[in-house]
Amino acid sequence: MAQNIPPELENELRKYDNLRRQEEGYSNMVRAYKEQVDQLKETLDQLGKQPDDVVTYKTVGQVMFRVEKPSMIEELEDRVRELDNSIKKAEAKLKTLTPELAELQKSIQLEISKRNLTLQ
């Protein structure tokens, strides 16, 4: 027996799915950025333990370039700041998406129960 789902409810379900995917994407982004920040901070920590005149190399693709330690530190610190800003923006987006998603879920569940529908 096929159930007829009203078009409004179908639209709400699509919107819910879209928001859920966005939330998942932002969550994954935050997790990945935080992992990168941790790796960069570990690199900075290890680099800080080395003498200032240590020979330092930077890998770009399959090529290695010799770089001065201070410029490498500055570059890594800049990248950490950029990632921290990206994390803050993604977390702010999550703060708006999560309640919106929960509210939409309640609305959908209410509509489903009103109409005695079962979704698979």
Q: State the residue range of the domain holding 92.
A: 7-114
pLDDT tens per residue across span 25-69: 999 999 999 999 999 999 999 999 999 888 999 999 999 999 999
The answer to whether position 2 is within a domain reads: no
**23 Rama sector, left if φ>0, alpha if ψ -120 to 50, beta otherwise:** alpha
The answer to whether position 43 is within a domain reads: yes
Q: What is the CATH number of the domain that holds 75?
A: 1.10.287.370
SS (H, E, C) 8-59: HHHHHHHHHHHHHHHHHHHHHHHHHHHHHHHHHHHHHHHHHCCCCCCCEEEE
pLDDT at 2 over 60: no
State the total domains in the chain.
1
The reported pTM is 0.81
Burial of 67 (0-12, 13-18, 19+ CB in 10 A): middle
